[in-house]
């Protein structure tokens, strides 16, 4: 598994992919919360608060993470190396986890520089330090949970499809459905199904209350899609 993980990380940073992912994520968030005028701009908002960043980041992830994961298995199949991987001593779960952890590690690396946002808002507070660190920690935990689910979905769609573009589009659709789809259906139909979606759990955990039900949700959905991925490889 660790050999696959190292291979994935090396493949990201031996080309421009890893640097582009981190750069795009940081630049896009930075423009919205510091430069562009509007409700997400912290300086315009008038409060030392990162709620705009927490709103934007999951939506950026919907497109960014599928772009990372779309080649995970699709490229292996295109190059004819998937059969070689499946005949090595590692089992399917180790292969899937190696691919998953490689993509998830890249997202963690993209999130790390945003800790500077916390420091900046901390300094901008009146008085200095007037920031809810509990909700900040909860929101970052939630972002990691969202990234986990999106990575698992992206790995799954890459295993299902031989075409990277199809894998990307399918992952975007599933990520959108799980993030907002169930909440949107709940608002439209009146059915209480919002807790099936990611957004409801992210809202809860962003309040700074680490409820075990929310943590279990993130791990469970991630594990479910990783199981589907392993099952797909077994059938192949």
Q: pLDDT of 107-132, one tens digit each?
A: 999 999 999 998 888 887 777 777 78
For residue 236, pLDDT beyond 70: no
Q: Name residues whose C-beta falls within 8 Å of residue 92's C-beta, 6 or more positions apart in sequence.
A: 86, 230, 233, 234
Half-sphere exposure of 213 (CA within 13 A, CB side): 7
* Residue whose structure tokens are 């005028």: 37
Q: How far is CA 66 from the centre of its chain?
A: 9
3-state secondary structure the chain: CHHHHHHHHHHHHHCCHHHHHHHHHHHHHHHHHHHCCCCCCHHHHCCCCCHHHHHHHHHHHHHHHHHHHCCCCHHHHHHCCHHHHHCCCCCHHHHHHHHHHHHHHHHHHHHHHHHHHHHHHHHHCCCCCCCCHHHHHHHHHHHHHHHHHHHHHHHHHHHHCCCHHHHHHHHHHHHHHHHHHHHHHHHHHCCCCHHHCHHHHHHHHHCCCCCHHHHHHHHHHHHHHHHHHHHHHHHC
Neighbours of 77 (CB within 10 A): 17
- pTM score, two decimals? 0.91
Q: pLDDT of 84-107, one tens digit each?
A: 777 777 788 888 999 999 999 999
Q: What is the predicted pLDDT for the residue at 45?
A: 67
Q: What is the predicted pLDDT for the residue at 140?
A: 94
**Residues 49, 121: contact at Cβ < 8 Å?**
yes
Q: pLDDT of 21-71, one tens digit each?
A: 899 999 999 898 888 887 778 777 666 678 889 999 999 999 999 999 998
Classify residue 127 by burial, with Cβ atoms within 10 Å: 0-12, 13-18, 19+: exposed
Q: pLDDT of 182-192, one tens digit each?
A: 888 887 776 77
Rg over CA atoms, the chain: 19
Round to whole Å and give the CA distance between 176 and 63. 9
């Amino acid at each position: 598994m660790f050999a696959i993980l190292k291979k994935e990380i090396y493949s990201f940073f031996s080309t421009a992919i890893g640097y582009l992912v981190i750069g795009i994520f940081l630049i896009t968030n930075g423009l919205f919360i510091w430069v562009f005028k509007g409700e997400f701009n912290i300086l315009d908002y008038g409060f030392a608060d990162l709620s705009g960043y927490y709103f934007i980041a999951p939506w950026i992830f919907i497109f960014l993470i599928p772009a990372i994961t779309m080649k995970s298995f699709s490229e292996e199949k295109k190059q004819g190396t998937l059969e070689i991987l499946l005949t090595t001593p590692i089992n399917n779960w180790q292969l899937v986890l190696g691919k998953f952890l490689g993509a998830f590690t890249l997202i963690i690396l993209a999130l790390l520089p945003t800790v500077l946002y916390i420091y900046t808002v901390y300094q901008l507070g009146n008085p200095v330090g007037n920031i809810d660190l509990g909700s900040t920690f909860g929101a970052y935990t939630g972002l990691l949970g969202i990234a986990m689910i999106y990575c698992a979905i992206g790995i799954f769609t890459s295993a299902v499809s031989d075409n990277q573009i199809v894998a990307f589009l399918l992952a975007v659709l599933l990520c959108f459905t799980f993030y907002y789809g169930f909440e949107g259906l709940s608002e439209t139909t009146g059915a209480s199904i919002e807790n099936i979606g990611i957004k409801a759990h992210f809202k809860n955990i962003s309040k700074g209350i680490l409820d075990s039900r929310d943590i279990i949700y993130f791990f469970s959905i991630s594990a479910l899609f990783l199981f589907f991925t392993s099952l797909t490889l077994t059938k192949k």
